[in-house]
Amino acid sequence: MTPVPPVHLSAPSGGSWFFTVLCVAIFAGASGWALARAARGDMLGVVALAGGLVASLIEAMLDNLGLLWFATDNHLVVFHSFARSMPLYVVLGYGFYFGAIAYVTTFSLGRGHGSRRLWAIYAVGWLFDLALETTGSAVGLYKYYGPQPFNPWGIPLWWMFVNPALPIAAGGLFHVMRDRLHGVRALLVVVLLPMCYGATYGAIAWPIFIALHSHVPGWVVWVAGAATAAFSLLFVALIVDGLEWYARRPEAQPAAAPASAPRPLVAA
């Protein structure tokens, strides 16, 4: 039997407004930086934020698979899908988390940073997600339900491994495609980012999704949660390795400066 969502969960009015304002402020900061970069001719940050907003349409489907319920009386509900209510702070969170961090990844790669920076972005994304989700859960806006493994205080930690893998994947893709994402083609990011998001979850979260919706012993669910976390790390490691290979290609190396003519040892 599939776990029943806590449909009677009610979000505190003040808490819902607080979390919404918090997410608006973070999104505004990310938008300010993206617009500043756009003023310098780099539109990727703006379209990445837009792609993150579009990717929020997938959230309800993933909540259905991962057993997450948002209180239906949250303020400023934007849309309903899969019998779930998606408030504004979810939509904005997708923009500044998945969109902005993907752009930070692309920006860092464009500056020549390598594996250490990518793993640092992943780690910061892990901690940022944990802090943000812990805040929203503590306020009482949503609830993870069912036999969630690695769930010390209401936030199943396997989600933290999966979520920051998406910005690494999308940011790496945008970096590799950077020469093709100019002008009107930059708008491709708006659809590519949701594609990356859906593909990432399908690639690494399938063990826990299947376990949560199957009649299996509790230890199997825990193994599936551990496998999902391990798949997340493997996924990121493969992307990082691939990007390092891409950077080492001969055609990716700067052209050597022409050698100057040798000076005579003895003046004529």
Arithmetic mean of pLDDT over the chain = 92
pLDDT-derived band at 255, boundaries 50, 70, 90? low
Instruction: Decide if pLDDT at 254 tops 90.
Output: no
Nearest to 71 by CA among 9, 138, 154: 9
Alpha helices in the chain (DSSP H): 13-39, 44-55, 59-66, 88-94, 100-110, 115-139, 158-162, 165-176, 188-204, 206-212, 218-248
- 129 near 164, Cβ under 8 Å? yes
How far, in Å, CA of 173 to CA of 61, rounded?
A: 24
Residue 123: how many other CB atoms lie within 10 Å: 11
Residue identified by tokens 């990310």 is: 30
Nearest to 98 by CA among 240, 239, 185, 201: 201
Instruction: Give the mean pLDDT of 90-99.
Output: 97
How far, in Å, CA of 3 to CA of 156, rounded?
A: 16
**What pLDDT score does 265 carry?**
41
Instruction: Decide if pLDDT at 20 tops 90.
Output: yes
**What pLDDT score does 6 carry?**
96
Backbone angles phi, psi at 69, to 5 degrees: -125, 125
- Amino acid in position 198: G
Nearest to 15 by CA among 75, 57, 72: 75
pLDDT-derived band at 253, boundaries 50, 70, 90? low
**What pLDDT score does 264 carry?**
45
How far, in Å, CA of 116 to CA of 54, rounded?
A: 30
Residue 5: how many other CB atoms lie within 10 Å: 18
**What pLDDT score does 259 carry?**
52
How far, in Å, CA of 63 to CA of 48, rounded?
A: 23
Kindly report, residue by residue over 149-193, the tens digit of the pLDDT.
999 999 999 999 999 999 999 999 999 998 888 888 999 999 999
Query: Please, which residues bridge with residue 265 across strands?
Result: none
Kindly report, residue by residue over 44-56, the tens digit of the pLDDT.
999 999 999 999 9
- 100 near 44, Cβ under 8 Å? no
- 144 near 76, Cβ under 8 Å? no
Query: Please, which residues bridge with residue 68 across strands?
Result: 144
Instruction: Give the mean pLDDT of 6-25.
Output: 97
- 117 near 98, Cβ under 8 Å? no
Percent of the chain surpassing pLDDT 90: 87
pTM of the model: 0.90
**What pLDDT score does 266 carry?**
44
